[in-house]
Amino acid sequence: EPSGTSSTPSASTAAAATAAETAAAETANAQGVAAKATAREAVFQEVLASREAYARELQLRLDASSKDLESTKARHKEAQSKLELAQSLHGHAEEEADIQKEVEFADVDRRAQTQKKVNEILHDMIRAKKEEAKTSRRRPSKA
């Protein structure tokens, strides 16, 4: 029996040692898996933080582009108004130039008519002087 008793404790001890080794290996394996998961989580967090930073940067760029677009639209609208005003003023300037030409033409015509009348009066005066000179030559002077 001692040999039976001694073989049973020895088998129990061996089984316990094997179980302990297996548990230790499984624990080490679990710790390795946990370490890998923790490392993956850290990488994931880094990637996530990087992507969030990039998303914020893109949002800032989008906001700046939107402001630029609004500013450009406002400048375009102002330029369009100025163009319309300039076209209107140009139209008025053309009308004014046409009126000025008409006034100048009327002024030239008036001067021409005045000069024509002056010439007629001078011509009549010269004719009258000639007539007077003819008549005074025909009449003997009373001197």
Would the pTM of this model clear 0.75, i.e. be above it? Answer: no
Under the banding of pLDDT at 50, 70 and 90, the label for residue 5 is very low
Confidence at residue 46, expressed as pLDDT on a 0 to 100 scale: 96
Q: What are phi and psi of 139, to 5 degrees?
A: -85, 135
1: which DSSP letter? Answer: -
Q: How far apart are the first and last CA of the chain?
A: 205
Largest CA distance in the chain: 205
- pLDDT tens per residue, range 123-138: 999 999 998 888 887 7
- pLDDT tens per residue, range 53-102: 999 999 999 999 999 999 999 999 999 999 999 999 888 888 999 999 99
Asked if residue 6 has pLDDT above 80, the reply is no
Asked if residue 4 has pLDDT above 50, the reply is no
Distance from C-alpha of 68 to C-alpha of 74, rounded to nearest angstrom? 10
